[in-house]
Amino acid sequence: MEHAEDGPGPQGQHAGEARWRGLFERMGEGFFVAEALRDAAGRMTDFRFVEVNPAFERLTGIPMQHALGRPVREVIPGVPDDLIRTYARVVDSGEPAEFEVHVPALNDRWYEARARALGHGQFCVLFLEITQRKAVELALVRSEARYRTLFESIDEGFCILQVLFDAAGQPHDYRFVEINPAFERHTGMAGALGRTARELIPNLELTWVHTYARVAVSGEPLRFEDHAPSMGRWFDVFAFRIGNPAEHKVALLFSDITQRKQVEQALREADARKDEFLATLAHELRNPLAPISNGLAILRHAEAGSAVGVRARELMERQLAHMVRLVDDLLDVSRVSRGKVELRKAPVALGAVVEAALETSRPLLDAAGHRLELALPAEPVLLDADATRLSQVLSNLLNNAAKYTREGGHVRLAARCLPQRRVSIAVSDNGIGIPPQMLDQVFDLFTQVGAALERSQGGLGIGLSLARRLVEMHGGHISAASDGAGRGSTFTVELPTL
């Protein structure tokens, strides 16, 4: 042995050797000396144990006597060829080696070993058991893999960002240092990894930077919902500091909640519209009552058949008809929205539908002194429709044209045939018009342009919603057009023909 040979001089050699042997026998590390066994070609194919210490027996479970003097392949059948090759390299090159050893054929243990050549085909190995450390490492690897799977498969966006501070210590941006696959879906940002938020969104609101900087500095986690107008999205975010505070890293678990916010907003608006509707409803139902009660008072004193009496009666009839229309619309819209209305479809001429609508609307148009212009195709147009419902739609549009046009206006109903067996019917006026941003909204239930109480006898904001649903039930489409306030409006209904 190298150490024994390096011992003190010839006189002390015996005592020195005893000291080394004592150490060799008491040390906690396993130790052995082995020599190479070679085949005819000089390749090391096996090795033989020359010396082993008691720790070797303790750590490997191989009795010392069983190992000593015997080839390792005999002592440990199934010893990996890799291990033999490692020792061969040490012996042949004279370079020491450090490695981890696991011999499944022998036991479940793991060892950390160092091998060193001793010359004359001999080498020594010092090793210790690291089974426990390996178990911890393995658990870590597994847990890392588990978290990685979680990280990659969760539906929520996840990222780790690093807040960037300028020389004055002010946060000005943050960099995405880790992102999960769902990140892109929630943010709409591709290729964010390694880039900064403001590189990706130059006009990003600084509040986002400040919020994450606060989490990075204080270490206090934060849960919040916020809007990023620069991204056109709403987010629900849980932000918490991660890693060494000096790194200013913040992890975010977040979701894009834009859709939910839009639904909430729509619900709020619908709620507000309903409130306004109730006010309008009360107002609209109250309006005709004063003229009716006046009329009654007049009738009480007027002689039967007198001109005053006739006028009062006519006025009361008009007011009553208006109330009936309101209540009918109200009943209809609730039945249509609950799917309770069934169309009674039959072949019907467009001319007849228009005529019926005019019959209903004529009094209102005449009362306002409007000029009515009709332009129907020369050839008859046949529809498969519920004539009553369809004329209700058209009279609704005519009534609106009459209501939303100053006295003495011009109302036009023009129909023309379109390709693919369709017809378009346009009702236009030269009235107050509709602002562009309201063109789609006028078809929403309870939507009215302008303040409710300013309009007298306007209605309830349900006519167009009803019209749209009825037209759609006929497989058609309705749209509004206007050049803006004061420039008149055109409502166009498109329907399939027979």
In the complex with ligand ADP, the residue whose CB is nearer, 91 or 449, is: 449
Position 430 contacts ligand ADP (CB under 6 A): no
Position 429 contacts ligand ADP (CB under 6 A): yes
In the complex with ligand ADP, the residue whose CB is nearer, 230 or 424, is: 424
Cβ atoms within 10 Å, residue 143: 10
Stretch that binds ligand ADP, among 44-52, 166-174, 363-371, 430-438 (CB under 6 A): 430-438
How far apart are CB 423 and ligand ADP at their closest, in Å?
A: 21
Position 215 contacts ligand ADP (CB under 6 A): no
Q: Which of 404, 425, 469, 493 binds ligand ADP (CB under 6 A)?
A: 404
Position 59 contacts ligand ADP (CB under 6 A): no
CA distances in angstroms from 56 to 29, 60, 468, listed in the order given = 7, 6, 91
Q: Which of 442, 470, 478, 495 binds ligand ADP (CB under 6 A)?
A: 442
Position 252 contacts ligand ADP (CB under 6 A): no
Q: Which of 196, 458, 476, 495 binds ligand ADP (CB under 6 A)?
A: 458
Position 171 contacts ligand ADP (CB under 6 A): no
How far apart are CB 340 and ligand ADP at their closest, in Å?
A: 20
Rounded-to-integer distance, Cα 402 and Cα 400, Å: 5
CB 410 within 8 A of CB 402: no
How far apart are CB 278 and ligand ADP at their closest, in Å?
A: 14
Position 390 contacts ligand ADP (CB under 6 A): no
Position 395 contacts ligand ADP (CB under 6 A): no
Position 365 contacts ligand ADP (CB under 6 A): no
Q: Burial, 132: exposed, middle or buried (Cβ in 10 Å; 0-12, 13-18, 19+)?
A: exposed
Position 476 contacts ligand ADP (CB under 6 A): no
In the complex with ligand ADP, the residue whose CB is nearer, 176 or 404, is: 404
Position 295 contacts ligand ADP (CB under 6 A): no
Q: Burial, 427: exposed, middle or buried (Cβ in 10 Å; 0-12, 13-18, 19+)?
A: buried
Say which residues have a Cβ less than 8 Å from residue 198's Cβ, sequence separation at least 6.
Answer: 172, 173, 204, 209
Applying the rule CB under 6 A, the residues between 60 and 89 that interact with ligand ADP are none
Stretch that binds ligand ADP, among 76-84, 246-254, 339-347, 453-461 (CB under 6 A): 453-461
Position 461 contacts ligand ADP (CB under 6 A): yes
Position 449 contacts ligand ADP (CB under 6 A): yes
In the complex with ligand ADP, the residue whose CB is nearer, 129 or 429, is: 429
Position 459 contacts ligand ADP (CB under 6 A): yes
Stretch that binds ligand ADP, among 238-246, 252-260, 332-340, 429-437 (CB under 6 A): 429-437
Position 489 contacts ligand ADP (CB under 6 A): yes
* Total residues belonging to the chain: 498
C-alpha of 96 from chain center: 58
Q: Which of 398, 432, 470, 493 binds ligand ADP (CB under 6 A)?
A: 432
In the complex with ligand ADP, the residue whose CB is nearer, 137 or 328, is: 328
Position 127 contacts ligand ADP (CB under 6 A): no
Rounded-to-integer distance, Cα 280 and Cα 463, Å: 14
Rounded-to-integer distance, Cα 83 and Cα 101, Å: 8
Position 357 contacts ligand ADP (CB under 6 A): no
Rounded-to-integer distance, Cα 117 and Cα 91, Å: 5
Q: Which of 60, 196, 211, 448 binds ligand ADP (CB under 6 A)?
A: 448
In the complex with ligand ADP, the residue whose CB is nearer, 187 or 430, is: 430
Tell me which residue has its CB nearest to ligand ADP: 459
Position 288 contacts ligand ADP (CB under 6 A): no
CB 138 within 8 A of CB 155: no
Position 56 contacts ligand ADP (CB under 6 A): no
Position 336 contacts ligand ADP (CB under 6 A): no
In the complex with ligand ADP, the residue whose CB is nearer, 75 or 480, is: 480
Binding site for ligand ADP (CB under 6 A): 400-401, 404, 429, 431-434, 442, 447-449, 458-465, 489
